Structure 1
Amino acid sequence: MLTLVLANAFGQQPMGQLPMEKVNPILPGYFADPTIKKFGDIYYIYATTDNEMLASGVPTVWYSTNFEHWYNYTMEVPSLESVNLRNFWAPDIIEGDDGRYYLYFGNCQAGCNIYGYVSDTPVGPWEKLNKDDSPVIAHNYPRKGFPSLDAQFFEDSDGRIYAYWGTWVHYNGGYAVGELDTDSMAEVKNSKNIPLEETPEPFEAAYMMKKGDKYILMYSGGSCHDETYNVRYSHSDTPYGPFVPGENNPILSTNEEGTVHGPGHHSVLEENGKYYMVYHKHDYPMTRGGLSRQVSVDEMVFENDSTIRKVIPAHKDLQDLRAPDLPRNLALGAEATASSFYHLQSLQYDYAYKPSLATDDHNATMWKAADNSFPQQLTLDLGKVTDIKRVMTQFEFAGYYYQYKLEHSTDGENWNLYADRSSNKTPGSPLVDDNDVNARYLKLTVSDVEKTGLYAAVWNIKVFGSLFEIPLDLQGKPSNEDNGAKSAHQKLVDIDAKGFPSQNEFVHLPNSGSLGGNFEKEGEVVIEEGEEGIRTFNFTKGALVLDQAVPRSLEWNGAFTVATWVKNPQIAKEGECLLSWCDRFRFNLANSYNALHFNSGHYGAAAHLDGHFDMGYNTLPTANEWHHIVLTFDGVVEKIYVDGQLDNSQNMTLASQITNAKIRIGASDVGEHFSGHMAFLQMYDYALTQKEIGELMLLTTPLRKK
């Protein structure tokens, strides 16, 4: 049982302590928009890789023969000639009459299009269906402005294949339907829009299935970013409609207990006369923006051919899908200790990622180290000396490599090597290590990770006393990336106006922080002494730009602190950037941009993409008064402090893009100029504590006692 505090749409109001069902999620990690298929005796789940740059992770597939042990594989999908693909959104797959497999992804990097690929196997490697990079379903089809995303394909009993697609359809005129050309599998024809009134309260993710003679068009409503997301349906006598809304919509939505939050974008598995809805829901504690989703499954029951009952989330253990006589996980419930664990404390949550959460065999919970330093250790006590032949470790991110070693012991004092993955560069989940030893204790030492700022974190570690077949046993390709950069635990930037004389025509100013270098003046910035006797940088339409490269410790999910004393005479609704160190529109993906602002809008404090990911001030600092403003990020939680007090916070996973970016004080790369006074600014490559922030505020205050 997991004790939790549920938050509302943006995690602001606690609602109580609740038990979580163990059956869901079924996958360990952040994945969304699942399409489930069964080819032969293997189940496959194709999904969007979530929790990264607007759900722009690697193209991935999970596979299993028993619905208990799922294995992740990063597929080889060719890029476009003109664009290095990052979006592999909402996949679907069809087995063609020719025995080949046809995979379709949505992508918004060259217009919101659906692209197609073909392979001789369900897992690739994939070839382009259209060698000229033309999409299977293009943007603006079937009408101008229509975004072609979230395509799902349905094969009717006469062999015809229909496509259903569309997102943001509540202001795009409804979903679209068309027929796939089965000769090429690379073109959709005879397309039309489905009128909005036929699918009330829609958002995205249309899914067609057939029950008897009825065509059931299911879809997701509400918003994928919050608790309003849900599953709805309409039915018709033909694939093109007209469709009649279901009488009991929505059939799956956030439940009263909150254990299922924002469920939607589903597919359906029919198995032995029963139907199962495979969908995603939000993680807990919930990451800002709702794009750290996890895949779940529940039985779906038809009242009759045109009526679906309300889905009861996680109401049983789904034993009908699980193979009997699965090997016993010796680590289930085992006592676990760790070198450290993370205690999330914010305005929204008080949650501990304890070591015991790595041995509960629950894909919603994990052990996470206290910070992003290495090495970190997790030790299991199995209770007695026993045979250990296989260890399966599910790290937090399946798409990135982790480096580690496993050791075993009979007494907890003398240790021998079980497996050495200290040079591993191959991602995957689980990472499987086989040996044949007798031991009571098992110790996992995580020494490094692929991406800067990621933590040593484990959803589950499983131990078995016997070997068993792994379907396909695919070997992923090693990454070409170096290990993530480490924090130097230093003050990178330090500039204080009182250290310089009043002047208008300076060219550059030295940085006293560890990065060194000089801040070069761009535009209108002067150093002046005001009526209060405080020397300041007065920004009107200018910036101070550091001539040193942004350090790698600030890339990706790297921790940071920005602290400044500022006075903003008039607080605008937008802009007013105090410090930026990423380029705002080069990548245009969520959380690839980070900056501290001082405005009254939704990104008043921290800018990332839009209102779903940005963080404003809960209490806007008063205009034309001096304030100490501090933005921190420790790799898990982003916090904004005003005058020493925590004002707002949110859970985040960043993907900061620093290549060719500059550290800019008083502006972003596209302007957004600060128009006020700044006395002091420092930046660190780690997160200061609230106590340290209070001490810094007193130490650096420009205010004079009367």
Structure 2
Amino acid sequence: MHSRLTSTFSFLAAVSLLSPAQTLPWGVAASPLLLQKRVSPVLAGFNADPNIIVFGDTYYIYPTNDGENWEGKSFYVWKSKDLVSWTKSAEPILTLDGVDVPWSDGKAWAPGIIQRGEKYYFYHSGSNPATADLSIGVAVAPSPEGPFTAHAEPIITNRDPEPVRASGAAIDPMAFHDPVSGRWFLLWGNGRAPVIAELNEDMLGINWPTAREISGLEGYFEAPFVFFRDGLYHMTWSVDDTREPTYHVAYATSTDLLGGQWANHGTLLEQDPSLGIRGTGHQSFVNVPGTDDWYIAYHRFAVPGGDGMHRETTIDRVFFDEAGVMKKIVPTLEGVPAQAVP
């Protein structure tokens, strides 16, 4: 469906409208000190599992629409020219209602998107009545804002062959174009390890003989995300349950995406209770084109008073050491300064 963009959000302006003891929707009194300090989150409302990406001169975030029991059915897209002021699509870009997405009736979770040629491929999780489980599907559009047309059947279910069943639920798809080999991959799964597989040439299915587990990622639970920089593949994932304050991001590097050993670097991002920041995870990364500036988008419990079903999306800066390894990321309430795509 078409996606008109409205409701530009500046959190700093929104905070100025809050009364000193405003009560949040689920009944927790907001701390005036925290509300005065914070500029993030960057997206209004409860949004989790953000996939941040640049298309052209515009940043986009594709999140999960959060809420009780994660029962959301619709995906929206947010866009920004500067990483600070974000605009939400007036209508969903895709709705899991058995019609817009024929195979799914809800649980619109954790999407990932990629461009190939003149098309945009949107991968997402959803509940699948045919299997009484979660599956992964794909929708295609001529623009990152839609309209998206869903593939009639899921492309990954937990009835598919090993190693897919061993990965746990069919959730958290992440599309990756390997700049070294030129191949197109999908990563997904929760449980003991993620799965990586090459996508078919049309991007609408999995080349199953290429599917394999990525082993050696310490504490892996969900949310695989990989990027390439200066000869290193940077693999990140989330550890623990998203409902726990200890939910956090871990990290490893390798010079070989498929055949190499992963060097684990431990925790990359974690809670800071002194700031009321908890449950930091389900990360994605973006490089500002033409620069070596990198940012992480992730969710946390809404500050203050949030939990694993009331999460908010924020952005922080990423820095690298002399060896090209990411330094531990410091979560903030201030967010990041404006930066346009050159």
**1:93 corresponds to:** 113
Of 287, 291, 298 in structure 2, the residue corresponding to residue 279 of structure 1 is 298
**Distance in 1, Cα, partners of 2:96 & 2:333:** 41
Of 18, 33, 47 in structure 2, the residue corresponding to residue 31 of structure 1 is 47
**2:150 corresponds to:** 128
Alignment map for 1:228-627 (pairs within 5 Å) = 228-247=246-265, 249-271=266-288, 272-287=291-306, 290-304=308-322, 307-314=325-332, 318-321=336-339
Question: SS state of the match for residue 256, structure 2?
Answer: coil
Offset at residue 199 of structure 1 (A): 1.0
2:202 matched to 1:183? Answer: yes
Offset at residue 32 of structure 1 (A): 0.5
Alignment CA distance shift 1:113-1:279 (3 Å): same
Offset at residue 140 of structure 1 (A): 4.2
Offset at residue 46 of structure 1 (A): 0.3
Alignment CA distance shift 1:55-1:202 (3 Å): farther
1:446-476, CA deviations, whole angstroms, 9 ceiling, x for partnerless residues? xxxxxxxxxxxxxxxxxxxxxxxxxxxxxxx
Alignment CA distance shift 1:315-1:52 (3 Å): closer
Alignment map for 1:59-70 (pairs within 5 Å) = 59-70=75-86
Question: SS state of the match for residue 303, structure 1?
Answer: coil
Question: SS state of the match for residue 318, structure 1?
Answer: coil
Offset at residue 35 of structure 1 (A): 0.5
Question: Which amino acid in structure 1 is aligned with residue 109 of structure 2?
Answer: W
Offset at residue 66 of structure 1 (A): 2.8
**2:5 corresponds to:** none
Alignment CA distance shift 1:27-1:207 (3 Å): same
1:289-338, CA deviations, whole angstroms, 9 ceiling, x for partnerless residues? x1111000000111145521111122865225269xxxxxxxxxxxxxxx
Alignment CA distance shift 1:29-1:317 (3 Å): closer
**1:502 corresponds to:** none
Alignment CA distance shift 1:151-1:178 (3 Å): same
Alignment CA distance shift 1:46-1:278 (3 Å): same
Question: SS state of the match for residue 233, structure 1?
Answer: strand
Of 168, 182, 189 in structure 2, the residue corresponding to residue 159 of structure 1 is 182
**Distance in 2, Cα, partners of 1:234 & 1:256:** 25
**Distance in 2, Cα, partners of 1:317 & 1:165:** 28
Instruction: Mark the runs of 5 or more structure 1 residues left unpaired by the alignment.
Output: 5-10, 324-706
Asked if 2 retains the 8 angstrom alpha-carbon contact of 1:18 and 1:257, the reply is: no
Asked if 2 retains the 8 angstrom alpha-carbon contact of 1:77 and 1:125, the reply is: no
Question: Which amino acid in structure 1 is aligned with residue 197 of structure 2?
Answer: G
**1:46 corresponds to:** 62
Asked if 2 retains the 8 angstrom alpha-carbon contact of 1:79 and 1:85, the reply is: yes
Instruction: Mark the runs of 5 or more structure 2 residues left unpaired by the alignment.
Output: 1-14, 22-26
Asked if 2 retains the 8 angstrom alpha-carbon contact of 1:107 and 1:114, the reply is: yes
Offset at residue 149 of structure 1 (A): 0.6
Identity of aligned residues (%): 26
Question: SS state of the match for residue 308, structure 1?
Answer: coil
Asked if 2 retains the 8 angstrom alpha-carbon contact of 1:47 and 1:90, the reply is: yes
**Distance in 2, Cα, partners of 1:17 & 1:128:** 44
Offset at residue 240 of structure 1 (A): 1.8
Question: Which amino acid in structure 2 is aligned with residue 235 of structure 1?
Answer: T
2:239 matched to 1:221? Answer: yes
**Distance in 1, Cα, partners of 2:75 & 2:105:** 10
**Two-structure CA RMSD over aligned residues (Å):** 2.9
Alignment CA distance shift 1:306-1:199 (3 Å): farther
Offset at residue 183 of structure 1 (A): 3.1
Higher relative contact order, structure no. (Cα contacts within 8 Å, ≥ 6 residues apart): 2
**Distance in 2, Cα, partners of 1:100 & 1:302:** 32
Alignment CA distance shift 1:55-1:23 (3 Å): farther
Question: SS state of the match for residue 257, structure 1?
Answer: helix
Question: Which amino acid in structure 2 is aligned with residue 193 of structure 1?
Answer: E
Asked if 2 retains the 8 angstrom alpha-carbon contact of 1:18 and 1:259, the reply is: no
Aligned residue pairs, count: 303
**Distance in 1, Cα, partners of 2:63 & 2:323:** 28
1:393-416, CA deviations, whole angstroms, 9 ceiling, x for partnerless residues? xxxxxxxxxxxxxxxxxxxxxxxx
Offset at residue 136 of structure 1 (A): 2.0
Question: SS state of the match for residue 206, structure 1?
Answer: strand
**Highest CA radius of gyration, 1 or 2?**
1
1:340-386, CA deviations, whole angstroms, 9 ceiling, x for partnerless residues? xxxxxxxxxxxxxxxxxxxxxxxxxxxxxxxxxxxxxxxxxxxxxxx
**2:11 corresponds to:** none
Question: SS state of the match for residue 118, structure 1?
Answer: strand
Asked if 2 retains the 8 angstrom alpha-carbon contact of 1:68 and 1:322, the reply is: no
Alignment CA distance shift 1:78-1:262 (3 Å): closer
Q: Structure 1 length normalisation: TM-score?
A: 0.40
**Distance in 2, Cα, partners of 1:305 & 1:182:** 35
